[in-house]
Structure 1
Amino acid sequence: MSSSPWGRVDETGTVYVRTADGEKVVGSWQAGSPDEALAYFERKYEGLVVEVGLLEKRVQTTDLSAKDAHAAIDHLREQVDAHHAVGDLDALRARLDKLAELVERRREERKAQRARQAEEARRAKEALVAEAERLAQSDQWRAAGERLRALVDEWKRLPRLDRKSDDELWHRFSHARSAFSKRRKQHFAQLDAQREEARRVKERLVAEAEALSGSTDWGPTAARYRELMAEWKAAGRAQREHEEELWNRFRGAQDVFFAARSSVFAERDAEQAENLKLKEELAEEAEKLLPITDLKAARAAFRSINERWEAIGHVPRDARPRIEARMHAVERALQEAEEAEWRRTNPEARARAEGLTGQLQAAVDKLRSQIEQARAQGNTARAEKLEKELEGRQALLDQALKALQEFGS
């Protein structure tokens, strides 16, 4: 027979452990001496001590879930309650009880933290919805559109609420964005309609200008051409593909008439020679506007020059193409600058570029997250495969970002 502070072995080889509730049978030992039996079951106890210590460390130093922690505690408790070890089993039970209380406290703390985070997310999303609904009524198409896209990114970064609340807020948010997009489309559709109306008006003006080109009623016809020019300017710009063609026909019709008048008024050659000198000075003044660095100032200056140009009158016929070509070159430069400015500030094109950039950025971020997860799981093959895919997506994103920068240049 052999014994220790926490257990003993009787003459039959039965091993007992001492607990607060009395002795409990640990097992039967026939393979060796009683001391060897006690040593064997004491080692099993030490193993339980180590496992309990490791579990305590995991609970205290990692984010082990309450469910997994309780499962581990219950597993160890079953081993302790099975009394298959010799040692202070009551102390182990106390440690497990204390650990279970700690897990419960942590569970409640996490529950409270999740509730706080959910409330913060709710308030943040309600604020985003309120701002989106205000922006839905804005006429600042570019600024409001950019802000709405930024709000979408902010929404995506926030955690989800309960399904009903999240769906209701998203419905309001999405409705506000749709309302803004609808109003913006209507606005630009109206602009297109105005350009179409300008085209119809200018086609009528061209038809009348061409009908007048053969007139020999010099004074009234010239006056009517000036009126037609005023109507032309008041009509606004037609679609880009029609504007130049109509303008060439309009100016061509005027040229025919004024060329004929010039041949009749040959005696005015001296006056026209003076006109030529003045227009050469204006052409030189206009050419100094190039290259265009300040479009608004250049447009205003050219308008002033053009008004003085129109007020001067005709020049000798053989000099007209040369002198007008100089002005047309400046005018074309202005038109090209205006078109470039229009393209640069086109909200539809910018919106498409930003949408593509946002999609590519999200894909890149997702791939990076997957790579990190694969490496954390030790899946090197998957990580390398995802990195190759990331290289392609990153290249596309770099191109999209470069294109987007052109809108702000």
Structure 2
Amino acid sequence: MSEAPDSGSGGPFDALCGGFKKPVPRNSSIPLIAQAYAAALYRENFFQRYTLGEVFVETEYRWVGTGNPLLDLALKHIVAEMRNYYAKTQENRALARQGTPAVKLKEGRYIRPDVLGLALDIPRRTLFCELLEISTIDQAKETITGDLVPKLAILRGPVKTLLEEALLRMNQQGSFPQTFDASGAPWIIPPSLIIVPLFPEAGTATASTRFRWLCFGPTYQYRPMPFAGIVSEPPDSPARGLLLYSYHEAGINEVAVPQEVFVKMRKWLADKQRAAIRLELLPLNSYTQYWQQNPDDLKRLVGYLAVGVAAVAVVALAVWLAPVIAGSAAALLSEIAVAASAEAMIAQGTAVAAALSTFLPQIMRTAQMAIGAAASLGGLQPVGGAY
């Protein structure tokens, strides 16, 4: 067993993520899982703020209309203008340095935001557009300068100009929005939702030799951590609209996961489910009662938590509880976690986003409460806000 988790980047918010940071595996579906998870949560927040709107994800390879003629007009201009104005080839770069006019450079490819929110605010007569970019902490600066800044420049430049000209012509015939406002998305992922377990292949939970998870805690190195649902961030912050994650992986031999304890906890929760108790509303004292009635299990888990792997405990328990809480959706969560190709993820885009946003918060909340009850009984302090 390692004496302490590998903190990886050494950033101030590593404790939130539980250590064991590793490079994102090449050619894996992990970036798409991170994008789908963040997009699904952002979509919920967006619709709480806007009644008339839609959220588009990059993996939706063909953006379609919303059914609202004004939003569709905005989308038409965004899709047409969101591109590199010249190809970033060595030849083109050399020509650009020589002062060659842009019209004589080879045109670049179309680009898409990771996530785009588009809404109509009738009282303010404004079309609002929000940009969300998801990246790893190791690519944070490059994402700001290479994605957020140039994409917002396009939205605030040619898109705004052309769209507001079209709106002006329409306003001669009636009351229409007058302005287009683009910004980085103001939403910041809350601490309770930053850890995302990657589930093992369906049916192999108890035989799994490694635990894997994503953590969006690195976001707080560039953006403020929400406090009681309140975010204090300047509108002109260069990182506004940025979400950052890290990849983590720990083996059973490294952390001595008490598998038998988690298996028993899963059976106990399954029994509660059969008794028609809603898991997400199970009170904290019920978990306390479980640990009091199973002191040997409590002793094992407290010893496990004492070495500073609370986040791993939450991830591991979430893996074991997924079949009970998510039911058949647990199989989908397993499929996307082991998917090797982008095509496999994109093909299931809508189902993936729904499963991630619907079941992961519930699974994690249950695991966090169970671990938190054990830590409280064992006299341990919560580690890094993990529970």
TM-score bracket for this pair, using the shorter chain length = under 0.3
With structure 2 as the length reference, what TM-score do the two structures score? 0.22
Structure 1 or 2, whichever has the larger Rg, is 1
Looking at secondary structure, tell me which structure has more helix per residue: 1
With structure 1 as the length reference, what TM-score do the two structures score? 0.21
Question: Higher relative contact order at CA 8 Å, sep ≥6: structure 1 or structure 2?
Answer: 2
